[in-house]
Structure 1
Amino acid sequence: MDKDTVLTHILQLKGIATLLGGEPPISVIKNNKYISQLTPEAQVTDKNVDNNLPSLDHAIHTALTGEIKTVILVGPEGSGKTTALEKLAVDWAKGEHLHNFSHVFHFRFREMNLLEGTLSLETLLLNHHGLVPPESIPLILQRPKAVLLIFDDLHQYKHSLDPSVHTLCSDPSQAVSVSCLVASLLHGSLLKGAAFLVATRPTGCLKFLSGSRVEVLGFLKPQREAYVKGFFTDQTVANKSLMHMERTLGFYDFCTSPRFCWMVCSIYKSLMEAGAKLPETVSQLYIDILMHLIQTLSLNEAGVRELVLALGRMAAHCSLSQHSSCTKEEMDSFGFQQFLTSQTSVGVFLQVDGDPESDRCVFSFHSQLMQEFVLAVSFFLDKSTLEGVEKMLEKHKGHAKFLDLFLSGLSEPVQRRPLETLLGEFNLDRITDFKRWFKSSSETTLKGCYKDAHQHCFHLLHQAQNESLVKEIITSSVRRGISYGDLSLQDCATLNYVFTCLGEMELLNLYLTRDLTEEKAEILAPAMSLSHKILLSSSFLRTGAVTHLASALSRGITTDLDLSHTRLGDEKFKILCTGLRDCKLHTLKLVACNLTEASCEDLASVLTSATSQLRELDILFNELGDQGITKLCQGLHSPHCKLQDLHLQSCKLTEASMGGLSAALCSGQSELRKINLTQNQIGDSGVETLCKSLQHPLCKLQSLTLFDSDLTGTCCAHLMAALMSDHCSLTELDLSVNDLGQEGVLQLCQALSRPQCPIEKLGLTRCELTVLVFEELGSLLSSGNSRLKSLSVGINQVGEQGVKHILDAVAHPSCLLEDLDLEMTGLTDTCVEHLCAAVRASKTLKNLELRNNSLTDASVPALVQTMQDSHNMQEMNLRYNEFSEDVFEMLDECDKIRY
């Protein structure tokens, strides 16, 4: 086609304008309302998509100016493929783009379906649309590289593109079947060197095409906003529509479709002009659309009812046969005879290709969603058959994604009543059957642990819009802690609806949400504010999402927030703190969140807030450094600070920051009861500083963990002095994985032997202990002066000679031990008789850790018998000993043994 002919061919209105068909491309192009759709490359940033990101236009132009000869646009219904193709052709005809092509031909596959018999490429170009003068044909055939052929609607093509079923031709004058002609063009044997642009919904035909594939995303939020604001002249109305669309319909995947946006805006405009309420769900939206379409027809109630039932039969056929179009003969069998004489009646609902009274005419639904909706309506409307809902849904499973959702919406009397005024009463038996099925299937689904099944149940509840039904189905017994991570916008809205109906929830589990966007967080914000605990660990939060989370915390009831392993960073954490300063949070977990010294000042401001309720702060594995902790400690001095547990494992701390921490502990303002300093280079001098605060009368610390903190026996003298102080309140002390040695721990034992020593839990795992130390610990445990209830002395190679002293103490009536860890201490079968005797004699021992020793099968009978006989023992861990599979059955007999 030459450029003038292209403009004439495209810039003309075709068919009947209908609400379901979307805004005609010609209208979009003529009125300069085209807003570029997006390709996947647009999703590359933490910020809203802007106009500088790759667009569909850019992707097409780039591909067509390269070496690739075939470009395939793939996108869902109404995503803007047709409009993009026609605009591309118009832009070429106006001389704005694609200057390397001298001729552009535009075809639609649904029109190609109507061609019969045989024809040559020359005939097709000359006669199809009557667009090419004969004298141009030689030029086209001589310079195929300057020719672009555009094919739209590949998914509607009724022939195969499999090259193996065709004898491909290469002669442009040879007459062949239409299917052979198209296959020969697209597989490069005919008009070799020409470029092709093909548009389609996802279809099986794609496997037979090679080329550059461009996925069409449609509208993301910025494009949606621009479109809606361009649709309404009154920006107040535009903003109202956009807000309602985003909070109700905007979460659906198909809201990325420009056609769907046009349809929603059109029905919103109609409803607002009539002073009617806007729809809350997609079911309500399609009820409004169906009513609008029916009211444009001059049919009585009986006629409208019969038309909808005929549409339902057609929808069922298309769904089950997976054919998108129907012939005239099939339409007659569905009951359309009286309606086909009026193209307006049918054209309002269907795409009509050809003369409606011709046998060659084909009919298809404008919209897959409308097809499923009329199927649902006709099922409830039909009183002629007895088919149950479960059987019907099973038949259409995998073919009709929204069918049960529409049935859920239509099953509620408030929602279906407007339709019944036009169509007559629905079949109440079928509605009752649906509700019975829904409650039964929901009960089964919610007992399971499959997130997708749970979400689908929530979708059904959302469509029903019945708060009492939500409370009836989502009982406390099914509110399990399943993770709802990686939600779509649609899932977010339904989950939020359920939480809002319930009023409050114990847990909002969003673990492993790989991309929590601003849109999703905005929709989930009410649910967040109604949740006592929010779990977002191992997730990724966009900056905008953090803003909504902060807002939800400040106005909600959340007491526990887990953001561990979210790579939050200082910038996002600063935003979060705007909500943390005024919330009900008791526990905040920030493990491995990429925080640095810069975040500590913000944390301090949270702790000093008059409304702060924070009791536990886990900020492990963040490079806070000494200066960071010094800033944080300033918050601990505040009378408003209520922090009791502070976990600072692996935060790059040294002795330099212990002064600030010590000063806070004995300031009289600090409520700290527990500090974990694991895997920091505190050193002996750092412990000396801390020990001064432990002796202060205002220090309330009860638990101190110094696991792997670069300590030696030198620090034990300071610890001994602290533990012997009358003011020391420490009940738990973990010094594991430090080279304390014999002399250091013997000093500790002196303090532990005093009746006033408060220590009840002591960790000395891998501390270079000796047999003499074990002997002293044994004496201490059996002395009657020790309060120790938990002792960890594993990974100290003292052998059975050393462990014997501990076991003797366990058997002593004065020993209070409940938990004993003897992992990797060199135990063999020789000690088992002694060990079993100690366990039997003990009145307090509950848990015994014996991992990584050298016990063999020979010791198993005695250990199993001892555990079975013991009333107070709860668990014995025998993992990683030298057992064979021969004794596994015997070990299984005792559920208190782990192996």
Structure 2
Amino acid sequence: METLHDSPIKCSDIFKALPDQQKHIRVVMMIGVAGVGKTFSVQKFCLDWAEGLENQDVDLVIPLSFRELNLIKDEQYSLLELLRVFHPTLQEVTAEQLAGSKVLFIFDGLDESRLSLDFNKSKVVSDVTQKSSVNVLLTNLIQGKLLPSALVWITSRPAAANQIPPACVDRVTEVRGFTDDQKEEYFRKRVSDEELSSRIISHIKTSRSLHIMCLIPVFCWITATVLDHMLTTDKRGELPKTLTDMYSHFLLVQTKRKKLKYAEGHETSPQELTEADREVLLKLGRLAFEQLEKGNIMLYQEDLERCGLDVTEASLYSGVCSEIFKKESVIFQKTVYCFVHLSVQEFLAAVYLFHCYTNRNTQVLKDFLGKDFNPKSFLKKISMYFGKKDNYPSLDVFLKTAMEKSLRSKNGHLDLFVRFLHGLSLESNQRLLGGLLGQTDNSPEITQRAINNLKKMKKTKISPDRSINIFHCLTEINDHSVHQEIQEFLKSKNRSEKRLSEIHCSALAYMLQMSEEVLDELDLSQYNTSDEGKLRLIPAVRNCRKARLWSCGLSEISCSSLASALKSNPSHLRELDLGGNENLKDSGVKQLCAGLESPNCRLETLRSVHLFYSCTV
């Protein structure tokens, strides 16, 4: 595979080949986490083209969002009819003109799609006047069977990008969000008071988790909203240091904003949540929870009504949730709904489930915590817990079961959700949300048991990358002991004498990944830990030049993590030693090959005495 260097690229140039490239760029996949600026990039591209500033060789730019395409997923259209439905100004365009023009199709928000894109069994459509389902039209466009000269640009969150086969994509670009300098620039522009913006920037730097999250523009907006409010009101409590604390304050600021009274130009302390506020927020929480389980972030009227939300209810849009929950009119004047950011949906979902726990909503808890577990004895145990009030599980048992549930998720869609659950278990956040969660028995003993459960959690069949979320949950529950112990370990001169637990290894892998310095060599044999502990260190491969993973028991799941490191952008790894991993099976080798074939992979040396496969590097 041709090696592509990790260098910035302008949106206006994403279809232009690099100087040393001969390949024509027809299909581009742009990935990025929720709220990082993918749709903004699309809009900027369209605006520059429309104003005659960029890409004037393109005759027609046709933006189509998946949230709109979802509304007609069961109907039949030809491509020409589809364009006329979404863009009435194209009514006069003929099939001949469309085929003879240089056209760019932009499909924004693949992660919001409810279409079934089947690239293996989809029927062939090669005529723009031939009717078919929307998903068949899209697969043929992307594969180049329909309008083969057309350019295609798809945006997606990383977890959903695999719906498009790699063979169909000529270039992958990533929107990474703000650099550290851009974070500071954002806060200085967002908060006009120079002293106030400096205090906000200073506070963000004191919390590693907050500082990292601020690479996402939407999170910068949430942070600025909360800290600006807290630093300018008369009520100046301790500033939030964890994600849960920040989102709890954000929820209160947004729901109370229109109820604030002003005195001499300063905001007074906000009132408590009213019963009406709590009712609407819990309904929104149920909506967030049910759709998060299904993996949906775009919602429709029937979804709201199923949770008891009246779309005509004034309180829903009168400021109570105006900055939390959004509605917009799309094609045919139909309305779609979404939370202002995926993390807000995850937070409200956690609030709802925690409320169900404190209020003993046994059906919701059994459905969520028990339905995917085996063997049957565990289901029986869960039923026993939730079936008798006098044997109701303590808070630490509830959190442990939720953590195990999240670790079983294949794509990690419950990871942030379960972090919020742990943060909501703290009395400070329960007190802050004023009765929204209910009362729990969160004595120091129970909190310590929850911390111990996280530190002892061992799951051999989960990705090492996913194990890092256990460490994040410790941060949310205000336990920093593991972080401090790893810092002491890194300062130690006799590291081999220090026995590392599995949670220590997850924390170390995370800290090495986040380090601004690239590690010269990662040698797992140098760490005094268990076999699982060594596997948990694999994510650190992302930030090292040489990795020696000798006899560490690589499996398909850990190979997936290693392949992810090879695909990472930028990829620093130049030398990889996999010797002694005799149990590496075909499935694991295929994972590795996928990483080696990535355009981002810059590996120069691969050693393994047991790897008798032909891999293109």
Q: TM-score under structure 2 normalisation? A: 0.62
Give the aligned partner of residue 425 of structure 2: 411
Which residue of 168, 176, 181 maps to 1:222?
A: 181
CA contact (8 A) 1:301 1:424 kept: no
Q: Work out the CA distance in 2 between the residues paired with 1:183 and 1:537.
A: 43
CA contact (8 A) 1:451 1:482 kept: no
Q: Is residue 482 from structure 1 mapped to residue 500 from structure 2 by the alignment? A: yes
CA contact (8 A) 2:116 2:135 kept: yes
Give the aligned partner of residue 584 of structure 2: none
Q: Is residue 428 from structure 1 mapped to residue 428 from structure 2 by the alignment? A: no
Which residue of 24, 44, 65 maps to 1:108?
A: 65
Aligned residue type for 1:293: Q
Q: Which has the larger radius of gyration?
A: 1
Deviation readout 1:241-298 (Å, 9 max, x if unpaired): 2232232156565432222223322332233222534321111110111111221477
Q: Work out the CA distance in 2 between the residues paired with 1:120 and 1:95.
A: 30
Q: Work out the CA distance in 2 between the residues paired with 1:406 and 1:433.
A: 20
Aligned residue type for 2:473: L
Q: Work out the CA distance in 2 between the residues paired with 1:265 and 1:177.
A: 44
* 1:174 Cα deviation after fit: 2.6
Which residue of 284, 291, 294 maps to 1:321?
A: 294
* 1:239 Cα deviation after fit: 2.9
Q: Work out the CA distance in 2 between the residues paired with 1:488 and 1:214.
A: 29
* 1:305 Cα deviation after fit: 1.8
CA contact (8 A) 1:118 1:177 kept: yes
Structure 1 pair 452–323 and aligned structure 2 pair: CA distance change class (3 A): closer
Give the aligned partner of residue 349 of structure 1: 324
Q: Work out the CA distance in 2 between the residues paired with 1:453 and 1:164.
A: 30
Q: Secondary structure at the match of 1:284?
A: helix
Q: Work out the CA distance in 1 between the residues paired with 2:35 and 2:44.
A: 15
Q: Is residue 153 from structure 1 mapped to residue 109 from structure 2 by the alignment? A: yes
CA contact (8 A) 2:38 2:155 kept: yes
Q: Work out the CA distance in 1 between the residues paired with 2:466 and 2:107.
A: 39
CA contact (8 A) 1:232 1:238 kept: yes
Q: Work out the CA distance in 2 between the residues paired with 1:340 and 1:265.
A: 29
Q: Work out the CA distance in 1 between the residues paired with 2:273 and 2:110.
A: 38
Give the aligned partner of residue 463 of structure 1: 476
CA contact (8 A) 2:468 2:506 kept: no
Give the aligned partner of residue 168 of structure 1: 124
* 1:72 Cα deviation after fit: 0.9
Give the aligned partner of residue 378 of structure 1: 352
Q: Matches of residues 499-648 of structure 1 in structure 2 within 5 Å?
A: 513=512, 516-517=515-516, 538=521
* 1:55 Cα deviation after fit: 3.6
Q: Work out the CA distance in 2 between the residues paired with 1:356 and 1:337.
A: 22
Give the aligned partner of residue 309 of structure 1: 282
Give the aligned partner of residue 150 of structure 2: 194
Give the aligned partner of residue 581 of structure 1: none
* 1:433 Cα deviation after fit: 10
Q: Work out the CA distance in 1 between the residues paired with 2:151 and 2:205.
A: 40
Q: Work out the CA distance in 2 between the residues paired with 1:221 and 1:141.
A: 45
CA contact (8 A) 2:289 2:350 kept: no
Give the count of matched residue pairs: 448
Structure 1 pair 101–438 and aligned structure 2 pair: CA distance change class (3 A): same
Q: Matches of residues 263-282 of structure 1 in structure 2 within 5 Å?
A: 263-274=222-233, 276=236, 277-282=238-243
Deviation readout 1:353-382 (Å, 9 max, x if unpaired): 558999x75443332322221122223333
Q: Work out the CA distance in 2 between the residues paired with 1:356 and 1:90.
A: 21
Which residue of 30, 37, 57 maps to 2:11?
A: 57
- Stretches of structure 2 that go unaligned for 5 or more consecutive residues are 260-271, 366-397, 490-496, 524-543, 546-617
Give the aligned partner of residue 247 of structure 2: 286
Q: Secondary structure at the match of 2:90?
A: coil
Structure 1 pair 367–290 and aligned structure 2 pair: CA distance change class (3 A): same
Q: Is residue 237 from structure 1 mapped to residue 196 from structure 2 by the alignment? A: yes
Structure 1 pair 139–91 and aligned structure 2 pair: CA distance change class (3 A): farther
Q: Is residue 248 from structure 1 mapped to residue 204 from structure 2 by the alignment? A: no
CA contact (8 A) 2:95 2:128 kept: no
Q: Secondary structure at the match of 2:165?
A: helix
Give the aligned partner of residue 336 of structure 1: 309
Which residue of 393, 401, 415 maps to 1:391?
A: 401
* 1:194 Cα deviation after fit: 0.9
Structure 1 pair 106–391 and aligned structure 2 pair: CA distance change class (3 A): same
Aligned residue type for 1:400: L
Structure 1 pair 471–311 and aligned structure 2 pair: CA distance change class (3 A): same
Q: Work out the CA distance in 2 between the residues paired with 1:107 and 1:333.
A: 28
Q: TM-score under structure 1 normalisation? A: 0.44
CA contact (8 A) 1:249 1:281 kept: no
* 1:458 Cα deviation after fit: 4.8
Q: Secondary structure at the match of 1:169?
A: coil
Aligned residue type for 2:516: T
* 1:101 Cα deviation after fit: 0.6
Between the two structures, name the one with larger relative contact order (CA 8 Å, sep ≥ 6): 2
Could you tell me the percent identity over the aligned residues? 24
Give the aligned partner of residue 444 of structure 1: 456
Deviation readout 1:783-811 (Å, 9 max, x if unpaired): xxxxxxxxxxxxxxxxxxxxxxxxxxxxx
Q: Work out the CA distance in 2 between the residues paired with 1:341 and 1:357.
A: 23
Q: Work out the CA distance in 2 between the residues paired with 1:470 and 1:482.
A: 12
* 1:466 Cα deviation after fit: 6.5
Q: Work out the CA distance in 1 between the residues paired with 2:114 and 2:154.
A: 15
Q: Work out the CA distance in 1 between the residues paired with 2:251 and 2:184.
A: 26
Q: Work out the CA distance in 1 between the residues paired with 2:331 and 2:315.
A: 8
Q: Work out the CA distance in 1 between the residues paired with 2:446 and 2:336.
A: 34
Aligned residue type for 1:312: G
| Deviates most, 426-435 or 85-94 | 426-435
- Stretches of structure 1 that go unaligned for 5 or more consecutive residues are 1-39, 43-52, 493-512, 521-535, 541-565, 568-899
Q: Work out the CA distance in 1 between the residues paired with 2:338 and 2:509.
A: 27
Q: Work out the CA distance in 2 between the residues paired with 1:149 and 1:176.
A: 18
